[in-house]
Amino acid sequence: MAGAIASAMLFVLPVFAQDSRLSLADRVSLLEQRAQNKDQSSATLVNQLQQVQSQLRDMQGQIEELQHQLQQLQDKSKDQYIDLDSRLGRLEAASKTGAAPASGSSAPAAAGAAATGAAATAGSAANTAPAAKAPPAKSEKPLSAADNAAAQAAYDAAFKTLRGGDYVGASREFRKFIEQYPDHSLTPNAFYWLGESYYVTTNYKVALEAFQHLLNQFPQSEKAPDALLKVGYCQLELKQAPAAKATLESVVSKYPSSKAASLAKERLRRIQAG
């Protein structure tokens, strides 16, 4: 019996040893395959990582460009509102002190001045404006005291609407004033604030027309420097850079001591700086 068992063991042991050797070879092959797959996976991950990094750089550049554009829009909006607020502030200060507004300021004429100076101002506008737009016959007839009072009330109501931030309503009221009182001493101011109401709401084309109409019909108005400045601003917004630059330079040369000239110089510096 013992001999039979020994014979069986001698037969089995070589077979077992052979299976073990084959298993070890398979294991080595498997490990090599795994290592190769790992290297390929690592290479794939590296490529994917590089692609993600490239996309992140592109996105960062886009974000920086958008931030720059946003800052430009914020600066532009701030300039517009600061300009309008400063003009309204000067008007309010002048109305409280009773002082006459300085040349080139945004304050309208006082009610008494409007009543006494309507004929003289309208006559001046008729002499300097094209005949088709300001017939002399109309300017020779002064308004009655009642009509002047009504005109002043209409103008004040329109300006109050503007100060309240209702720019659409203000533009409508100023247009109505201009239609009813085309030769009144406050009409140049009405044209100016009509242009401002459109400028603040970024309707630059219509704003440009209002400012240009003021300059054509009332070139001697105290609003002329500010109107010419805003013509340049509108041209910039409408991408008419050469014309805008020429207009701003004209403000500086025509009205060198005005506030408008200072603002024109500042805008020219910004244009040159890019």
- Please state, in angstroms and rounded to a whole number, the distance separating the CA atoms of residues 98 and 95: 5
Candidate from 1-5, 25-29, 168-172, 198-202 with smallest mean pLDDT? 1-5
Domain limits of the chain? 1-71, 100-273
CB contact set of 8 (below 8 Å; sequence gap of 6+)? none
Burial 128-166 (b: 16+ CB within 10 A, else e): ebeeeebeeeebeebbeeeebeebbebbeebbebbeeee
The answer to whether residues 176 and 193 touch, using CB atoms and an 8 Å cutoff, is no
Give the span between the Cα atoms of 156 and 173, in whole angstroms.
Answer: 10
pTM of the model as a whole: 0.54
Q: Taking residues 136-152, report their average pLDDT.
A: 72
Band (pLDDT 50/70/90 cuts) for residue 187 is very high
Q: Which of 58-62, 98-102, 115-119, 231-235 has the highest mean pLDDT?
A: 231-235
Nearest by Cα to 160 from 200, 113, 197: 197
What residues contact 231, with CB distance under 8 A and at least 6 apart? 208, 211, 212, 215, 247
Task: Give the separation between CA 184 and CA 121, rounded to whole angstroms.
Answer: 8
Q: Which pLDDT score, from 0 to 100, does residue 52 have?
A: 78
More confident: 271 or 114: 271
Chain mean position to CA 91? 25
Per-residue confidence (pLDDT) for residue 63, from 0 to 100: 76
Closest-CA residue to 184 (of 160, 158, 166, 164)? 158
pLDDT at residue number 55: 74
Question: Per-residue confidence at 37, pLDDT binned at 50, 70, 90?
Answer: confident
The second-level CATH assignment, the architecture, of 100-273 is Alpha Horseshoe (1.25)
Structure tokens at 40: 């390929």
